[in-house]
């Protein structure tokens, strides 16, 4: 078969770099044809040369000239700006798009891929959190293929192969508990960004690492699963599973329980999405059963994790609340990383922004863009 040509949006981030490792592992099956980064033009140039890509885009146009200079002696096409990204997704030289852009910024690209019926490997869960109803409406309209990349939605997707969504009785998303599992609440007020970034199992970027430490990431995955798998909020439970080996479980109407287990390495999920429906062998780490293992599970009590509680509130109300929560959280996490607020201020800012932001029951894209802008202003004022 011909190589599958991959566009990686967010190639210099954690998921993007791991995706390039997957492509390198399977160079006979996959090739990178388009790489996109926000501002890390030096790494983008290195990636472009190493993987001999056709095109690169730097979103922040202030770095366009510097990137262009680094690639001047190559045949690689260089563009700048978000408009260039949305235009180039129409190219017939792209077989699949991996959207690994972080945050609200990834929404426009997701919608463009869907409207083009371009297969979309979605690592940008915020697209679903912000605009779940709109995304799913577009998917139904254009019959666009979407494969989730995040470990938990990917696990559910894989467990449901050969099953009907209507046969789902309940799903269980697993969370490691992060670096602060069993920390006293009072101690959380004093934790530093350095501590919060030290996830015990996963290697992730700064934003998602902080989200994971406070279970906001798991809250976003609850919202994502709600939309992707046509569930009710009460059908979604979160379990604390410190070893991060079982990524999710699906309980079916006959009482059967299907679990997806794998070594906690995102490259496995990325490979599944990029190569789907193939499962090529690889050299990635696997679960080692030659040693005793413990698969412990306990309920994640919403009272202990305020960000998780907010995610369920968003599902109860819907409308533009997911967009509001995501915008507030992006502001709050950035402020924590810059030592402007305490770790425990993140859910406070998220909740207060939700309370202050005007509710829109059925927002369109323009209303979501405006919600994002206004919610960021409100959250900034609460810092």
CB atoms within 10 A of CB 161: 8
SS3 call for 184: coil
Which tokens go with 43? 């790494």
- Taken in order 295, 299, 303, 308, the sign of the CA dihedral is positive
218: Cβ–Cβ under 8 A, 6 or more apart, which residues?
Answer: 152, 173, 175, 212, 238, 300, 305, 308, 311
Which tokens go with 31? 């090739």
Query: What residue ranges define each of the domains in the chain, with the CATH number in brackets?
Result: 4-148 (3.40.50.720), 153-264+287-318 (no CATH)
Specify burial of residue 184 (Cβ count, 10 A radius: 0-12, 13-18, 19+). exposed
Question: What HEC string does 279-324 produce?
Answer: CCCCCCCCCCCCCCCCCCCEECCHHHCHHHHHHHHHHHHCCCHHHH
Spatial CA neighbour of 8 closest among 365, 327, 273, 330:
273
Residues paired with residue 6 on neighbouring β-strands, in sequence order: 32, 96
Would the pTM of this model clear 0.75, i.e. be above it? yes
Divide the 383 residues of the chain into consecutive groups of 10 and give the mean pLDDT of each group.
93 96 97 97 98 98 97 97 94 96 93 97 95 96 96 95 94 93 87 90 85 94 96 96 95 97 94 96 93 90 90 97 97 97 97 98 96 98 96
250 neighbors 258 (Cβ within 8 angstroms): yes
For residues 74-101, one letter each, b for 16 or more C-beta atoms within 10 angstroms of the residue's C-beta and e for the rest, the string is eebebbbebebbeebbeeeebbbbbbbb
Structural element, H or E, at residue 208: helix 206-213
Strand order in the sheet with 246-252: 257-261, 246-252, 168-175, 236-240, 298-299
Residue-level pLDDT at 2 = 86
Which tokens go with 360? 């829109």
Residue-level pLDDT at 201 = 80
What is the rounded CA–CA span in Å between residue 203 and residue 15? 9
Structural element, H or E, at residue 260: strand 257-261
Residue-level pLDDT at 1 = 67
For residues 26-60, one letter each, b for 16 or more C-beta atoms within 10 angstroms of the residue's C-beta and e for the rest, the string is beebbbbbbbbbbebbeebbebbeebebbbbbbbe
Residue-level pLDDT at 68 = 97
Residue-level pLDDT at 12 = 97
The owner of tokens 């939309």 is: 227
């Amino acid at each position: 078969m011909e190589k599958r040509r991959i566009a990686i949006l967010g190639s210099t981030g954690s998921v993007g770099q791991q995706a390039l490792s997957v492509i390198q592992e399977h160079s006979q099956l996959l090739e990178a044809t388009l790489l996109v980064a926000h501002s890390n033009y030096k790494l983008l140039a290195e990636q472009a040369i190493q993987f001999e890509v056709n095109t690169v885009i730097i979103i922040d146009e202030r770095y366009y000239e510097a990137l262009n200079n680094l690639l001047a002696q190559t045949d690689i096409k260089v563009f700048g700006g978000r408009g260039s990204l949305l235009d180039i997704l129409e190219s017939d030289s792209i077989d699949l798009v991996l959207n690994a852009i972080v945050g609200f910024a990834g929404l426009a690209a997701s919608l463009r891929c869907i409207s083009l019926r371009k297969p979309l490997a979605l690592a940008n869960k915020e697209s679903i959190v912000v605009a779940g109803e709109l995304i799913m409406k577009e998917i139904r309209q254009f019959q666009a293929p979407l494969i989730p990349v995040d470990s938990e939605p990917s696990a559910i997707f894989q467990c449901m192969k050969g099953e009907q969504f209507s046969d789902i009785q309940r799903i269980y998303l697993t969370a490691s508990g992060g670096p602060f599992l069993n920390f006293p609440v009072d101690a959380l007020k004093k934790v530093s960004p350095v501590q919060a970034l030290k996830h015990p199992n996963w290697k992730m970027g700064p934003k998602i690492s902080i989200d994971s430490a406070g279970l906001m990431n798991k809250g976003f995955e609850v919202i994502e699963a709600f939309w992707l798998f046509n569930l009710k909020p009460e059908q979604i439970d979160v379990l604390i599973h410190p070893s991060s080996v079982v990524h999710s479980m699906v309980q079916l109407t006959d009482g059967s329980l299907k679990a997806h287990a794998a070594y906690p390495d995102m490259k496995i999920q990325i490979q599944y999405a990029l190569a789907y429906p193939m499962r090529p062998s690889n050299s990635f780490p696997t679960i080692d059963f030659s040693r005793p293992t413990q698969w412990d599970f306990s309920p994640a009590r919403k009272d202990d994790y305020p960000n998780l509680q907010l995610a369920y509130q968003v599902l109860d109300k819907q409308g533009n609340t997911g967009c509001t929560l995501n915008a507030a959280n992006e502001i709050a996490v950035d402020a924590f990383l810059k030592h402007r607020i305490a770790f425990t201020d993140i859910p406070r800012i998220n909740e207060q922004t939700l309370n202050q932001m005007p509710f829109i029951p059925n927002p369109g894209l323009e209303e979501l863009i405006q919600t994002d802008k206004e919610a960021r202003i409100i959250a900034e004022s609460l810092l």
